[in-house]
Structure 1
Amino acid sequence: MTIIDRHQIVDAPDPDFGGISNRGRSHDQLRDAYKGALRGFDYFGMIEPALYVSTQRVAGVPRFMLWHMHALVWNTSRERLERRAEDLRPWFRAYLPYATGVDVRPVRTGDLLQMIWYVAKTPMHQYQLAKRESESLQQYRGPLNGVNTVRLYAAMHELQLPDLVLAGGIGCHILRRTCRAARHW
């Protein structure tokens, strides 16, 4: 499941680095915005930023980050999860008007390890927005370049695994064991 909330955009330029600050939002507040979405489910997920660059014409700022969550959810039916997604969609709205804020996709047989990697990955892409002639937005994705990798590092360097991971139900046990093991690295 992927959950995106356009209200979790961090867009104030950091004057010391040309990077991005969080306009007074703590990372706990960013986490809390997604934490309750899957209450009552067994899940394990992470929040991560999508970096949008060259956004001055479209958004009025040179760049911004949109924090979103990817999660694996189990021990439930597809129907129950789809009902939750329908309940969440009015509250979680994507930045792009034609996109959904809550996306549910089943894990195909043999793809679990790939999905675990996807949920736990670091950002790999940067995005650009352009206005079409119709005034709608078009999103372009490209590899994260060196300068923007440093910008993301500057924005995230103080964060640790517990700051980015969310879990519920049985996923809480996985999170505790993972964090305990990570302390020994």
Structure 2
Amino acid sequence: MSHPITSLEAFVRAHMSANDAISLYLEANKANYQPLDMETQQQLDRRSAVFMHANNAYSRIALVKTVLEQTADLLDPATQQSPIFMVSVAPAHFAVELEAANGFDVERVRRWTKRALESRDALSIVEAALYTNANVAGHPARMVSWHSHSPVWNRTRKQLDAQLKPLRNRHTSFVPGIEAVHVADVSASAVEKAIYICKAPLKEYRLIRRESVNQETGEVIQRFDQKKRDMRTGDRVRMCKVMSDHYLNNLLFGTGKEVLFAAELPTTF
């Protein structure tokens, strides 16, 4: 059963478990298993943590600890000066077939997110979501949706909705019925959301098609719900390939005067 990562302990446990599962999978070396080149395998090693590879579980753990340390006052519900909202952006043009996802230019997502948020107070990270049955929505079966998550502050919900309205009007997700720009008030759970956005791709998304009939026109309307579950180890290896060219200090970025630590990630472990 899939469990959310809502604490630092759960974060560490999930990443160490995934790291161990990948190691055992690669050691088994079965004929039908996904191969992983030696260079990418070395990215997973604890000794490589200092390089901040996006694939490295130890680097992810160091990242989340740094984020929590440097945003403690900002995210603590007792000291928050304004509401905190989670803005997630996942337009269709950032969704690519799995085989084309390796080498994706994450700077495109960074630029798009900064424009969406007007480069104001926010902490953002670029993430890759694996969809394993996207064919039910007319795409190749395995798709990777590059997107960003951003806790933002110093704005009201009305201001944020007005700011994001043009993007919502112009852009859709690659999954019909799923919002390309989503906003949620996370003031009461901002620390948990900061932990969440630092995670590696650990879940896979599955689409569920729903059909309804317009009683007036007889038109069949299709929409999709999405569910997530623990990623199977073979797909975790596939995502290691996707993330092999990326570094955490490039995926994480901050905007606004209060977010200065993005270039100050830890160099010792």
Instruction: Identify the residue that residue 163 of structure 1 maps to in structure 2.
Output: 250
Are 2:153 and 1:67 equivalent residues in the alignment? no
132-141 or 163-172: bigger deviation: 132-141
Do 2:91 and 2:173's aligned partners in 1 also have CA atoms closer than 8 Å? yes
Query: RMSD in angstroms over aligned alpha carbons?
Result: 2.3
| Equivalent residue for 2:205, pick from 127, 135, 160 | 127
Are 2:86 and 1:7 equivalent residues in the alignment? no
Q: Deviations 1:59-83 (Å, cap 9, x if unpaired)?
A: 3423110011110111222221121
Identity of aligned residues (%): 23
SS in 1 for 2:166: helix
Instruction: Identify the residue that residue 91 of structure 1 maps to in structure 2.
Output: 170
Residues 80 and 142 (structure 1), Cα distance of their counterparts in 2 relative to 1, 3 Å cut: same
User: 2:201 is aligned with what amino acid?
Assistant: P
| Equivalent residue for 2:124, pick from 45, 54, 58 | 45
Instruction: Identify the residue that residue 176 of structure 1 maps to in structure 2.
Output: 263
SS in 2 for 1:13: helix
Do 1:35 and 1:166's aligned partners in 2 also have CA atoms closer than 8 Å? no
How far 1:171 sits from its partner (Å)?
4.9
Q: Counterparts of 1:106 and 1:60 in 2: how far apart (Å)?
A: 32
Residues 105 and 132 (structure 1), Cα distance of their counterparts in 2 relative to 1, 3 Å cut: closer
Q: Which has the larger radius of gyration?
A: 2
Residues 83 and 58 (structure 1), Cα distance of their counterparts in 2 relative to 1, 3 Å cut: closer
More helix as a share of residues: 2
Q: Counterparts of 2:161 and 2:268 in 1: how far apart (Å)?
A: 38
How far 1:136 sits from its partner (Å)?
3.8
More strand as a share of residues: 1
Q: Gaps spanning 5+ residues in structure 2: where? A: 1-86, 212-219
Q: Counterparts of 1:55 and 1:87 in 2: how far apart (Å)?
A: 27
Q: Gaps spanning 5+ residues in structure 1: where? A: 15-19
Q: Counterparts of 1:34 and 1:131 in 2: how far apart (Å)?
A: 29
Q: Deviations 1:97-124 (Å, cap 9, x if unpaired)?
A: 2222212112233x22101112222222
64-73 or 135-144: bigger deviation: 135-144
SS in 2 for 1:97: coil
Q: Counterparts of 2:171 and 2:268 in 1: how far apart (Å)?
A: 36
Q: Deviations 1:113-159 (Å, cap 9, x if unpaired)?
A: 10111222222211123545555444342211101111111110221
User: 1:93 is aligned with what amino acid?
Assistant: T
Q: Counterparts of 1:166 and 1:59 in 2: how far apart (Å)?
A: 33
Are 2:209 and 1:153 equivalent residues in the alignment? no
| Equivalent residue for 2:183, pick from 104, 111, 114 | 104
User: 1:153 is aligned with what amino acid?
Assistant: C
Matched residues, number: 174
